[in-house]
Each structure stands twice: as structure tokens, then as C-alpha cells.
Amino acid sequence: MASAVEKPKSANPISEASTKEDIESKVSQAKSTDSHDADDAGHSKSIFEGNGFTIIKKIGTGSYSKVKLAYSKNHKGMVAIKIVSKFQVPEEFLRKFLYNEIKVVRFLKHDNIIKYYQSIETSHRLYIIMQNAEHGSILDLIHKQKRIPESRACSIFNQIIAAVEYCHSQGVVHRDIKCENILFDSNYTVKLIDFGFAKSMNPVLKTAGEEKLEALIAQKSPSKAKKENSNLSETYCGSYAYASPEILRGVPYDPFASDIWAMGCVLYTMVHGRLPFDDRHLGKLIKQVQAPISFPTAVVTSTEFKICCRKIFVPAKDRVSIVDLKKDPWVMTKYLEYERVVIQRQSQSVK
């Protein structure tokens, strides 16, 4: 049996300030209570104050980072600031992943990808300033509704397809697609976030900080400074529950195909309200992902939906491509069905 969808320990970037008065009130409260992070280099002003940010509160915590909600004078609105401490992460993370989010996201421009605004680097920390997604994640939505109706799930899935197809067209693989990493903005538009594990298969201009770090690592350990030239990935990324069979087997894998597997896990979870595979025991998980996908009888789903899932949950060589996934009958039909319902509701509200 697949494991239930667990609630995250901390919330995704969700803004509670929807009006000018709300923002001003929160900024005023934050100024009186916030003990700003002082820059480790010894500047008199904090990094936040010096760059026009007023921290409201902490809204998320990751393995090596935390996310804070802030008001930005420059952007005249709320933003999310991801803070990574360079001294609290393993060397491998520094070498492989620290600058990935900046290196990748700054070149990606798409309606369904979170907007990157700027980054600030000190000797001890890296700050990534991004668009704030006000309406939480797919995981939050599932917790509220238990399950998402097929037609709406299809509408959301179409936007996920659009985001991932764009990334792949730019030579970028995400490698950490999951319900927690797909948010909704103020208009409930899907926003793909967290490119920390992403990899660009094309040459990308490096940041100054990344060049310094690589030079330092090369001096300490030349063997670790070698670059990956293959189009296959060997690094395990993401969560077990969303990992493809080839990742779990620990063999070099096609990251493009593995992204599609993870998308399928998100789709299945939206419709059924639970993950497709039980990740509590690795041995059992490996057997499950290699067997034909099963569907719980407690939730009635269409035949077309099941066929779509079966195209995804297969070995990498047989897995549907992102281009063919767009053309899947369920993806096309249910999306149009949801759009018709939305249009009808809008027209009725106008009347």
C-alpha cells in the first residue's frame, strides 16, 4: 500500500498580506521584533536592511536552507528569500548544488516557473530572492481537499508539463519534482520551484562565487574537480517516493526520463490523495516501482487517466516523452473539460 501524503514540517512560501494595509502592518511589526541577520563580514547594517528588505517571518526550512518572507522596497511587494549557510553544508553539496539554483533559474523565463529576482552573497551565506507564491503548494491543496478532481488535476498537470517541457528544451533537468515544489501564485497559476538539484546539460556561465569555489576545491582535491560530460546522471537527487526505478537501482540514468516519472507521481498523488509508492522501506520500494502500477478501488478514476499513468510508470526506455505526454487523450480532454467549467462559472458570476 502506498504511503499517505505527509504534511511538511514547515509551510511553503505563502503570503498572508493581500492589501497595502496588511503589508504596512506586517512590515511595522517586523521592524519592531525582527533581529536581522548581521553580515558576517562585519558591516554595520544587516544584509536585509542594506538591500531594502524587511523580514516578516520564517516560512520554510530545508535540509541546508531556510526561507523567509520579506517586504522588498525595490520590488514594492512581498518576496521569498532563500538563505543557505555555506558552513552548515557538506563539501559535496557546495561543489555540486550550492550555485545551481542561481545558475539555472536566472536563465529560465516561463509563466509556470518561479521568478528569480536577484542573489546576494557574503563570505558565509548565499541569499536567493524570488517571487513569493501566495497560495501554497499542491501538497497544501491535497491536505485541504483530500483529493483533487481529475479535471482540475489535469489543468494543473498541463501547467507542470509546460514548465518541464520548457526546462528540457533549455537543456535543464529539475531532478526534484514533487508536490512540495509546485506552488500557486496569487492567480492560482502553477509555479515550479527549488532548482537546487537541477542540472544544465548545456554550458552555462558560472557565477563568480562558483568559480572561486571550484578553484579552491581543485587545489584541495583535483579528482573532485572533474566535470560530468555524459548526458546521463549519476548523482542521486530528490525524494525516494518520487524516484524512478533507474535512480533507485543506483545506475547512471536519463534525468529527462526521470523527471517524467516524478511528474507521474505528482499526478497520481493529486487524483488519489496519496503517493503511488511506499517509500518507508527501500527494498519494498524498489520492487513496487518495477511492478505494474496499481490503482486503489476507493477512488473511482477514468480509464483514460489510468492509461496515461501506465505510459509514465514503465522502464525508462518505454516511458512516454514529454512531447507525447502533451498529446495524451486524458491530458488533452480533461484539460478542455476543466477550462469549459471555469468559463461557465465566470460567465455566470458576471450575470
In a domain, 92, yes or no: yes
My answer on whether 196 and 340 are in the same domain is yes
Tell me the binding residues for ATP: 82
My answer on whether 207 and 247 are in the same domain is yes
In 3D space, the residue among 132, 140, 172 whose CA is nearest the CA of residue 16 turns out to be: 132
| Residue-wise pLDDT tens digits, 137-186 | 999 999 999 999 999 999 999 999 999 999 999 999 999 999 999 999 99
Residue 106 half-sphere exposure toward CB, CA atoms < 13 A: 14
In a domain, 3, yes or no: no
My answer on whether 92 and 144 are in the same domain is no
pLDDT for 332 beyond 60:
yes
In a domain, 193, yes or no: yes
My answer on whether 56 and 198 are in the same domain is no
Residue 193 half-sphere exposure toward CB, CA atoms < 13 A: 27
My answer on whether 197 and 343 are in the same domain is yes
131, 163, 192: which is the final residue of a domain? 131
Q: Count the helices and strands in the chain (H runs, E runs).
A: 13, 9
My answer on whether 28 and 145 are in the same domain is no
What is the C-alpha separation between 323 and 256, in angstroms, rounded? 12
77, 101, 131: which is the final residue of a domain? 131
In a domain, 4, yes or no: no
pLDDT at 2: 54
Q: Supply the CATH number for residue 28's domain.
A: 3.30.200.20
DSSP state of 198: -
What is the C-alpha separation between 117 and 132, in angstroms, rounded? 11
What is the C-alpha separation between 331 and 312, in angstroms, rounded? 13
User: What is the pLDDT averaged over residues 224-244?
Assistant: 77
Angle, CA 247 vertex, CA 244 and CA 253 arms, to 5°: 100
My answer on whether 175 and 45 are in the same domain is no
115, 131, 147: which is the final residue of a domain? 131
Q: Supply the CATH number for residue 152's domain.
A: 1.10.510.10
My answer on whether 124 and 162 are in the same domain is no
Q: Rounded to two decimals, what is the model's pTM?
A: 0.81
- Please state, rounded to an integer, the average pLDDT across all residues of the chain: 83
| Residue-wise pLDDT tens digits, 272-294 | 999 999 999 999 999 999 999 99
pLDDT at 43: 41
pLDDT at 236: 87
- 169 CB burial (10 A radius; 0-12, 13-18, 19+): exposed
For residue 306, the enclosing domain spans 138-350
pLDDT at 227: 47
User: What is the pLDDT averaged over residues 27-34?
Assistant: 46
In a domain, 144, yes or no: yes
In a domain, 330, yes or no: yes
My answer on whether 80 and 175 are in the same domain is no
In a domain, 15, yes or no: no
My answer on whether 145 and 287 are in the same domain is yes
My answer on whether 237 and 310 are in the same domain is yes
Count the domains in the chain: 2
Active site residues: 176
My answer on whether 158 and 218 are in the same domain is yes
